[in-house]
């Protein structure tokens, strides 16, 4: 059968789904992401020749290109169907460059959703390649290359080899570092609140002091509070005013990328990277058994809240059928996107309401289901009526002994009509109060303004102001978005980069800057104030948007950036502080020679070294307490001996976790991994140790490496294989099979399911009306 056309997408899974929709008349292939990029070994950009980029075929994509060229010989036309964003446009252009010599006719198609109707519609209305969008991506790539490849070598020379600077990631890191500086500089201030219990006709109710002579009360210490309570002890209280009103709360618009990442972090505990990985899978297509393969959500990289009118109509019909007409507004809810939003894209929504979450739950992994349910509920709720609350406020007043008018307020609100909250309630950060939270009904006696009430008891409570909270995924993405740093497609990679490069660490979901991250930020802020400036970075993002819209020339934008940057770079080479050579004096004495220690910088960060070096080579690890005081970390000795000098080994912390080192360092630099106590099955000398690869993945190998090369990816356990008698098994955990033991020998197929429910949460039958 002659083929009509070759359709090229980015991912194999998407290619598989689209192939089913288009049938055997078409050939559908995947580029598997970018096929060309700037070279790793050199700058690859020539500012003197109009910023001409030296794009090269990525070595691992040579075979992919050969397959695409081979397939293109069989068809008269090619459809470039890579993702509908700047990166996808760049991939389409690079594919076009590699295949255009064959004289074929090219089309550009944009799939906002991977469903059969959407795919067929896009194929029937092909477009041309968008040069403005490509130039915007190319300008971003060149900007990032210029910053990264020009600043990073400076950091290698001044701080540590192998670290890097990024145009956007460095600004995100600065936010984390600046927040930590705020927290450490914060001085708590004392303040007090006064709550009162009042009564009338035997009915008690609570109220809080909220105004003194019409202004916010200032209660800074206990003495002030005691004086206030004394002055009110005999004062008569009366009802000043009663206000009852109806309050409505409107639903939020359907998700854009940033809001999806924030809500998935708050409600589901997902990192931005995990959210985007799962969303990509939902977009590209899920096998629903007899129902076929379907893309379940629209394209997940968007900053636009626009929704297709047909989808809105479907949502309105669904709401009427499942919740009733009371929940449906007379006219569809319409939402306005922010300035510079890409209106060509829709908001993130389900592609079809034929697949409610509970219907297809058994086809989805647990986390994929939870994310799909979140997207579904948010979209449905966006087209529902507001929630209605009855709110009551009662103000009480008394004149204290000093002649000041003291006002107490009692408040309460009750949900009168659930509206959209029957489906979805927006999440909020710890410490924040949700707009949907209810105070509860305010139980009041029959009272009117002017009525006297009895003061039963006034209760003071002491509080202290709190430092600003450390960033979470949700709050950091929110600030990046509000400050215009990055774009929807970049937030996940920004957060991943600053963690992967060990500039920050995450503890209990919050970001802490590492010593390395703090040092790098301080150096870059001093030498490159524009690059580390939020407003400057946001301005660059806007200029990239202008390039995409065709209102700015990409070469002129780069030229405007490069000239001042080049001058700043030359100054930084001469003036940037050299942390490697820096020695900071301390008043801490060396216990070996009584000279003072100095703080020096090494591969693993700062440490204390004797100022009498090289006569005394004593070093100590240290940390700083909350007041910035140096605290020496005592050495943790073990009963193991150094294989080189027989001195005791001590436990030290390194880049990849704890390890053993000779206590006579730096005279002896012997190190050894901490072992699991399991003998190596390959040699008679070593033990198995847990190690971590440069990509952060744990593995297990013999501690006599490289003499013994035995290694495993899965954790070993001291239990021989009952089938082949190999001296150990490995432990593996998967979502589908749970906990299992298997033999690591390739020729042995022994596998035993130990606990099929290990690590799985109890399943619940979801309710169609359950809040997300």
pLDDT tens for 658-680 read: 788 888 876 788 888 888 888 89
pLDDT tens for 267-283 read: 999 999 999 999 999 99
pLDDT for 772: 32
Distance CA 342, CA 489 (A): 12
Nearest Cα to Cα of residue 395 among 411, 375, 415: 411
Distance CA 122, CA 106 (A): 14
How much is the mean pLDDT over the chain?
90
Answer yes or no: are the C-beta atoms of 5 and 80 closer than 8 Å: no
- Compute the average pLDDT of residues 142-157: 95
Answer yes or no: are the C-beta atoms of 723 and 715 closer than 8 Å: no
pLDDT for 770: 34
Q: Which residues contact 518 (CB under 8 A, 6 or more apart)?
A: 177, 180
Quote the percentage of the chain above a pLDDT of 90: 72
DSSP 615: T
pLDDT for 763: 37
pLDDT for 508: 87
pLDDT tens for 323-368 read: 999 999 999 999 998 876 665 689 999 999 999 999 999 999 999 9
* pLDDT band at 764; cut points 50, 70, 90: very low
757 burial via Cβ count (<10 Å: 0-12, 13-18, 19+): exposed
Q: Decide: pTM greater than 0.85.
A: no
Distance CA 619, CA 598 (A): 10
Answer yes or no: are the C-beta atoms of 386 and 252 closer than 8 Å: no
pLDDT for 344: 65
Answer yes or no: are the C-beta atoms of 644 and 667 closer than 8 Å: no
Distance CA 268, CA 277 (A): 14
Range with the poorest average pLDDT among 31-40, 140-149, 194-203, 744-753:
744-753
* pLDDT band at 439; cut points 50, 70, 90: low
- Compute the average pLDDT of residues 81-86: 94
Instruction: Please determine, for residue 752, whether its predicted confidence score (pLDDT) is greater than 60.
Output: yes
DSSP characters for 193-231? EEEEEEEETTEEEEEEEEEETTB-----SHHHHHHHHHH
Q: Which residues contact 181 (CB under 8 A, 6 or more apart)?
A: none
- E-state strands within 418-472: 452-464
The alpha helices in 250-384, defined as continuous H runs, are 257-263, 272-284, 309-323, 357-360, 366-382
Distance CA 67, CA 71 (A): 6
Who wins on pLDDT, 439 or 467? 467
Strand partners, 8: 29, 80
pLDDT for 429: 66
* pLDDT band at 1; cut points 50, 70, 90: low
- Compute the average pLDDT of residues 419-432: 82
- Token output for 481: 């978005």
- Compute the average pLDDT of residues 156-165: 91
pLDDT tens for 548-585 read: 999 999 999 999 999 999 999 999 999 999 999 999 99
Range with the poorest average pLDDT among 115-119, 314-318, 751-755:
751-755
Distance CA 492, CA 274 (A): 8
Range with the poorest average pLDDT among 38-52, 176-190, 714-728:
714-728
- Compute the average pLDDT of residues 99-113: 90
Active-site positions read: 299
- Token output for 97: 């460059």
Answer yes or no: are the C-beta atoms of 660 and 649 closer than 8 Å: yes
pLDDT for 697: 74
pLDDT for 667: 78
Nearest Cα to Cα of residue 52 among 555, 561, 567: 555
Instruction: Please determine, for residue 302, whether its predicted confidence score (pLDDT) is greater than 60.
Output: yes
Instruction: Please determine, for residue 507, whether its predicted confidence score (pLDDT) is greater than 70.
Output: yes
Quote the percentage of the chain above a pLDDT of 70: 94
Largest CA distance in the chain: 99
Nearest Cα to Cα of residue 354 among 294, 309, 419, 436: 294
- Compute the average pLDDT of residues 246-260: 96
Q: Residue 478 belongs to what H/E stretch?
A: helix 473-482
pLDDT for 673: 80
Strand partners, 208: 195, 409
How many other β-carbons are positioned within 10 Å of the β-carbon of residue 413?
Answer: 18
Give just the sign of the alpha carbon dihedral 269, 272, 274, 276: positive
- Token output for 276: 């985007």
Give just the sign of the alpha carbon dihedral 657, 661, 664, 666: negative
Rg (CA), the chain: 32
Answer yes or no: are the C-beta atoms of 288 and 360 closer than 8 Å: yes
Answer yes or no: are the C-beta atoms of 191 and 392 closer than 8 Å: no
pLDDT for 656: 59
């Amino acid at each position: 059968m002659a083929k009509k056309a070759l359709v090229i997408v980015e991912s194999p899974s998407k290619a598989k789904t689209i192939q089913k929709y288009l049938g055997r008349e078409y050939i559908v292939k995947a580029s598997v992401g970018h096929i060309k990029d700037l070279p790793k070994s050199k700058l690859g950009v020539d500012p003197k020749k109009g910023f001409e980029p030296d794009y090269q075929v990525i070595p691992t994509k040579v075979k992919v290109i050969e397959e695409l060229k081979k397939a293109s010989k069989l068809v008269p036309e090619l459809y470039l169907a890579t993702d509908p964003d700047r990166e996808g446009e760049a991939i389409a252009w690079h594919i076009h460059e590699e295949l255009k010599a064959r004289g074929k006719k090219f089309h550009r198609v944009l799939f906002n959703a991977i469903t059969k109707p959407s795919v067929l519609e896009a194929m029937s209305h092909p477009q041309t390649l968008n040069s403005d969008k490509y130039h915007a991506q190319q300008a971003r790539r060149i900007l990032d290359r210029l910053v990264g490849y020009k600043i990073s070598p400076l950091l290698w020379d001044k701080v540590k080899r192998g670290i890097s600077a990024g145009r956007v990631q460095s600004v995100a890191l600065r936010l984390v570092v600046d927040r930590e500086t705020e927290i450490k500089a914060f001085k708590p201030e004392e303040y007090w609140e006064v709550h009162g219990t009042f009564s009338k006709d035997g009915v008690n109710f609570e109220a809080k002091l909220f105004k003194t002579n019409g202004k916010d009360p200032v209660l800074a210490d206990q003495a002030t509070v005691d004086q206030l309570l004394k002055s009110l002890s005999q004062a008569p209280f009366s009802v000043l005013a009663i206000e009852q009103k109806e309050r409505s709360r409107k639903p939020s618009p359907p998700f854009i990328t940033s809001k999806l990442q924030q809500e998935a972090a708050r409600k589901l505990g997902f990192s931005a990277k995990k959210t985007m990985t799962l969303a990509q899978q939902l977009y590209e297509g899920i096998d629903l058994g007899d129902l076929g393969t379907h893309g379940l959500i629209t394209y997940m990289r968007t900053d636009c809240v626009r929704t297709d009118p047909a989808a809105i109509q479907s949502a309105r019909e669904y709401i009427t059928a499942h919740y009733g007409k009371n929940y449906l507004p007379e006219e569809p809810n319409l939402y306005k996107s922010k300035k510079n939003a890409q209106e060509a894209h829709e908001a993130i929504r389900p592609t079809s309401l034929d697949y409610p979450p509970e219907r297809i739950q058994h086809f989805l992994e647990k986390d994929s289901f939870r994310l799909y349910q979140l997207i579904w509920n948010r979209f449905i709720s966006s087209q529902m009526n507001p929630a209605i609350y009855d709110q009551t406020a009662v103000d009480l007043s008394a004149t204290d002994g000093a002649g000041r008018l003291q006002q107490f307020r009692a408040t309460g609100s009750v949900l009168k009509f659930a509206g959209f909250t029957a489906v979805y309630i927006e999440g909020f950060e710890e410490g924040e109060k949700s707009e949907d939270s209810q105070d509860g009904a305010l139980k009041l006696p029959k009272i009117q303004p002017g009525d006297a009430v009895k003061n039963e008891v006034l209760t003071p409570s002491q509080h202290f102001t709190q430092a600003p909270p450390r960033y979470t995924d949700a709050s950091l993405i929110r600030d990046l978005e509000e400050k215009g740093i990055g774009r929807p497609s970049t937030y996940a990679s920004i957060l991943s980069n600053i963690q992967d490069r060990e500039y920050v660490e995450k503890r209990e979901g919050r970001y802490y800057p590492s010593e390395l991250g703090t040092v790098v930020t301080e150096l870059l802020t001093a030498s490159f104030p524009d690059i580390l400036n939020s407003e400057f970075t946001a301005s660059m993002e806007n200029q990239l948007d202008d390039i995409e819209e065709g209102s700015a020339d990409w070469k002129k934008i780069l030229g405007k950036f490069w000239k001042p940057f080049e001058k700043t770079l030359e100054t930084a080479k001469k003036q940037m502080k050299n942390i490697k050579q820096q020695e900071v004096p301390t008043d801490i004495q060396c216990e070996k020679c009584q000279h003072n220690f100095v703080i020096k910088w090494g591969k693993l960060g700062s440490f204390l070294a004797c100022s009498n070096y090289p006569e005394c080579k004593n070093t100590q690890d240290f940390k700083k307490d909350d007041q910035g005081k140096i605290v020496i970390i005592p050495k943790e000795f073990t009963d193991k001996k150094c294989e080189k000098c027989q001195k005791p080994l001590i436990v030290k912390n390194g880049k990849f976790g704890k390890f053993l080192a000779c206590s006579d360092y730096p005279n002896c630099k012997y190190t050894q991994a901490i072992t699991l106590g399991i003998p190596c099955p390959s040699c008679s000398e070593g033990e198995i140790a847990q190690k971590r690869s440069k990509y952060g993945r744990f593995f297990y190998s013999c501690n006599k490496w490289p003499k013994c090369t035995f290694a495993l990816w899965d954790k070993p356990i001291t239990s021989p294989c009952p089938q082949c008698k190999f001296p150990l098994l490995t432990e593996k955990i998967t979502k589908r099979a749970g906990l299992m033991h298997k033999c690591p020998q390739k020729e042995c197929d022994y596998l035993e399911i130990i606990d099929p429910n290990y690590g799985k949460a109890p399943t619940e039958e979801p309710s169609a009306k359950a809040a997300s």
